Amino acid sequence: MILILLGAPGAGKGTQAERLVTAYGLVQLSTGEMLRSEVKSQSELGQKAKEIMESGELVPDDLIIKMISVRISQESDAEGIILDGFPRTTEQAKALDIMLKEKDLRINHVIQLEVNEEEIVERLSGRFSCTDCGMGYHEKFAAPVNKGICDKCKSTNFTRRSDDSPKTLRNRLSAYKEQTALILPYYSTKGCLKSIDGMAEMDIVFDEIKKMIDGD
Ligand code: AMP
């Protein structure tokens, strides 16, 4: 099964993808995560992507398409794949179609999580994570039980994503509106696009996604 999660930054794609991995044994491929690990390892791709990511713009299509196509090939035996943060441009959506056709795969669901801009700013400006175990938190909605101590690993080290700063966030939202939102008609014409209210409680959003998958 191939499932694409679409939505603006902060719409909840990563959170829902993680739950789907646990519930259905699917593999999550997040291009944002892949790029962050390339930046960390200072690979050639990471060095090219670093500044672009810090500015909130999109990394060029050719680099993204090459990176994801390697990963999709590696996961060809998986139960299913969740694409989180890819495709983000029409060019990427078209390249994905070609990649999947070559592997005799097809897109089963494209799920758009709809969240308004005010909520996105509130969600992203408050989020942080444990530096040691990666557990995600939010100042307002999901703070650690004991302030300053990670619930999971008891670490006292926390990190914020540098691209969650107000200025970069504005650029990330513009990139979404000006480039990524354009792929919605591409998928709705194909008849595989479904929209879910991403403003609802996380559990409700998850139940809606499950209904779509289980209805197959
Ligand atoms: P994300 O974690 O999905 O919010 O991605 C973080 C950043 O990585 C984005 O703001 C882009 O700079 C870059 N990025 C991630 N996925 C893509 C993609 N599919 N196309 C272009 N740039 C991407």
Task: Tell me what the pLDDT averaged over the chain comes to.
Answer: 94
Tokens of 75: 């996961």
Residue count (the chain): 216
Q: Do 64 and 92 touch, CB atoms closer than 8 A?
A: yes
Give the pLDDT confidence of 136-170 residue by residue, as tens digits: 999 999 999 999 999 999 999 999 998 999 889 99
86-141 pLDDT per residue, tens: 999 999 999 999 999 999 999 999 999 999 999 999 999 999 999 999 999 999 99
- Name the phi and psi angles at 58, rounded to 5: -90, 140
Residue whose CB lies within 8 A of the most ligand 1 atoms, among 6, 15, 36, 59, for a mutation test: 59
Answer whether residue 216 shows pLDDT above 80.
no
Please compute the mean of the pLDDT values over residues 7-14 and round it to a whole number: 93
Q: What percent of the chain has pLDDT over 70?
A: 100
**Interstrand relation of 107-114 and 2-6 (parallel, antiparallel or unpaired):** parallel
Structure-token match 């739950």, residue found: 19
In the predicted model, is pLDDT for residue 2 greater than 90? Answer: yes
Indicate the pTM of the whole model: 0.92
The residue whose CB lies within 8 Å of the most ligand 1 atoms, and thus the one to mutate among 58, 127, 159, is 58
Q: How far is the CA of 66 from the centre of ligand 1 (A)?
A: 14
Relative to beta strand 2-6, strand 136-138 is unpaired
